Amino acid sequence: MGKKAKKQRFGTSEKPRLVVYRSLKFVHAQLVDDVQHKVLLGMYNKSKVAADVVKDAKNKTEASHLLGKKFAEEAKKKKIENVVFDRNGYLYHGRVKAFADGAREGGLNF
């Protein structure tokens, strides 16, 4: 991902940046306020909040979808509904897309 693509994705406290990282086993997500350089919310498959929701998933893609829903619920508790989606250079496909779809179902707008 070049510098130009990175410049287009910038989060504020009103509309934070939703960063997705995909490893071989897990999907990590964070809401970042780039103005104050703070992480507002962070979660991955094995975090305390999401582990019980994700454990029933049949595969990693379904786990990503459920994680997206849970992430959106936690963001709404912090009164965050609008975000800027940063796929972190990954293709919008598979687990990244499943996470984004789950987050949209949960109520996040991007």
The CATH architecture that domain 3-106 belongs to is 2-Layer Sandwich (3.30)
User: Average pLDDT in the 26-35 region?
Assistant: 95
Alpha carbon separation from 87 to 19, 84, 105, 110 (Å, rounded): 6, 10, 18, 12
Rounded to two decimals, the pTM is 0.89
pLDDT in tens, 33-79: 999 999 999 999 999 999 999 999 999 999 999 999 999 999 999 99
Neighbour tally for 51: CB within 10 Å? 13
Domain spans of the chain, in order of start: 3-106
